[in-house]
Chain A
């Protein structure tokens, strides 16, 4: 997929930007606070309806105005997103549409500075990463997740209200929870393949992802889950909360039999996070057949030059990419099809 044109109105620090063409490789260069991430955020919001940073739509409106509007052309499809007075309107090729329609036309994957928290942060970060990535390609997963978390809240409330009745929620918990785990496991395999490939290439070392859940899976996931709930019933009653299920699952990255968080450098952490996101890219390609657009925000800086070049080799031929950086000298190589945009105080200059 390729973005060919964008018009941005009253979004973040842009009042009006029109960029009539893009290359395969696009570099946005500007000082801190100039609007580079905001530009990526415009693309991300237009194509996924969720901003890059965890804010509501009202915060995306340029201060002092009362609406924003985004208009992009993707391989001949027009996508428009307007927001004003708490209402948003998405149109694809002139017709009102929704998230599902977008995923088919313009899949996008963003590589952000805080991606390293997926590896370094608390287990919630990893669960959230998996849940977001899977929801984007599998509407059934999204439903299972919603139903599971609703059941979990009811079940935990039940422990407080009347623990005797907690089994009322077991069937829902096990049904939806098993579906989530069964969809996560093959996804972990995709991520595993990507991360091993990249790590071997860059660092010549072996690495793998291990999925961890608080019960052993023997036979079917559902059966194992049911057994765990049964044998853990007393412990749950004592602790008065739900102890088993995908809300407690985690994954870790093991390298030469040591855990990643204790042993790797900032550059390695960056590369690992990058590899995970490449796994997300691959899963989108596998599920939709389309090549996502990559938004790469400042994340290559901490990787040394030799490895940075290798990473660029791995992605620059296959995807349209938007890179941001404060200093253009950081990427010295010459790309065949490349445009450089200077970003300055909410203005973006067309490439000369």
Chain B
């Protein structure tokens, strides 16, 4: 049996994605072996991560000021909106430096198995932004799963006959939640060579 403090640490840390009990145990012993400041700074960074960050009221990006840096950047191309599942996808697409438009975070994909309906996603706000503003094209960059593809089709139907071009990142290259696993190069290519949805 581990001492209570270590046990508590292990319990909390193993709730993180990709980290199991074994890894948490190793992390706890590593932290104990480090100078005191390290643990303090780590704890502080975790607390600030949550307390100083909020969601952009325009696009849903995670930001420390509202609207976010992308939404307030006047050099961005407002005629193209890229729809992503979560804010981290924005980060990966931005890293490729091959997209100059703006974003819209859906907050997930339709999945009745997980109780997620269209009403749970930022679809109404997408409809408003896509039809009220300067938008000419909507890029639907969701993961190429059953749920991602069905959600993409739902969006295409919602936006049809509104004078918008609906496109997908080039196929054969994983996007959406898989974005982090696609190499930077292939992701850049997928975003640049997007194809119109039939």
Contact digits for B137-178, partner A, Cβ 8 Å, 1 yes 0 no: 000000001110110011000000000000000000000000
Q: Tell me whether A161 and B112 are in contact (CB under 8 A).
A: yes
Contact digits for A124-168, partner B, Cβ 8 Å, 1 yes 0 no: 000000000000000000000001001101100110111001001
Choice from A153, A154, A157, A161 contacting B150 with Cβ under 8 Å: A154
Judged by DSSP, the binding face of A is helix
How far does the Cβ of A148 sit from chain B's closest Cβ, in whole Å? 9
Q: Tell me whether B150 and A171 are in contact (CB under 8 A).
A: yes
Kindly list chain B residues whose C-beta atoms are within 8 Å of the C-beta of A165: 112, 117-118
Can you list 28 A-B pairs, Cβ within 8 angstroms, ordered by A?
A: A147-B146, A150-B145, A150-B146, A151-B146, A151-B150, A153-B113, A154-B111, A154-B113, A154-B146, A157-B112, A157-B113, A158-B112, A160-B112, A161-B112, A161-B115, A161-B117, A162-B117, A165-B112, A165-B117, A165-B118, A168-B110, A168-B118, A168-B150, A168-B153, A171-B150, A172-B146, A172-B149, A172-B153
Q: Tell me whether A171 and B153 are in contact (CB under 8 A).
A: yes
How far does the Cβ of B165 sit from chain A's closest Cβ, in whole Å? 20
**With A and B bound together, what is the CA distance between A36 and B146 in angstroms?**
43
Contact size range, B: 10 to 19
By the criterion of a CB under 8 Å from any partner CB, how many residues of chain A are at the interface? 15
Kindly list chain B residues whose C-beta atoms are within 8 Å of the C-beta of A150: 145-146
Chain A residues numbered 36-78 whose CB sits less than 8 Å from any CB in chain B: none
A-B contact count (CB 8 A): 36
Kindly list chain B residues whose C-beta atoms are within 8 Å of the C-beta of A160: 112
Nearest residue, chain B, Cβ from A171: B153
- A335 an interface residue at 8 Å Cβ cutoff? no
**With A and B bound together, what is the CA distance between A153 and B154 in angstroms?**
18
> Residues of A at under 8 Å CB distance from B?
147, 150-151, 153-154, 157-158, 160-162, 165, 168-169, 171-172
Per CB-CB distance, the 9 closest pairs between chain A and chain B, nearest first, are A157-B112, A150-B146, A158-B112, A161-B112, A157-B113, A151-B146, A168-B150, A172-B150, A168-B154
Nearest residue, chain B, Cβ from A166: B112
**With A and B bound together, what is the CA distance between A169 and B148 in angstroms?**
11
Kindly list chain B residues whose C-beta atoms are within 8 Å of the C-beta of A151: 146, 150
How far does the Cβ of A150 sit from chain B's closest Cβ, in whole Å? 4
Q: Tell me whether B150 and A169 are in contact (CB under 8 A).
A: yes
**With A and B bound together, what is the CA distance between A168 and B109 in angstroms?**
12
How far does the Cβ of B48 sit from chain A's closest Cβ, in whole Å? 38
Kindly list chain B residues whose C-beta atoms are within 8 Å of the C-beta of A168: 110, 118, 150, 153-154
6 further interface pairs, Cβ-Cβ under 8 Å (given A169-B150, A171-B153, A172-B146)? A151-B150, A154-B112, A157-B113, A165-B112, A168-B110, A172-B150
Kindly list chain B residues whose C-beta atoms are within 8 Å of the C-beta of A158: 112
Nearest residue, chain A, Cβ from B117: A162
Chain B residues numbered 103-125 whose CB sits less than 8 Å from any CB in chain A: 110-113, 115, 117-118
**With A and B bound together, what is the CA distance between A154 and B153 in angstroms?**
15
**With A and B bound together, what is the CA distance between A57 and B17 in angstroms?**
26
Nearest residue, chain B, Cβ from A147: B146
Kindly list chain B residues whose C-beta atoms are within 8 Å of the C-beta of A171: 150, 153
How far does the Cβ of A154 sit from chain B's closest Cβ, in whole Å? 6
Contact digits for B3-18, partner A, Cβ 8 Å, 1 yes 0 no: 0000000000000000
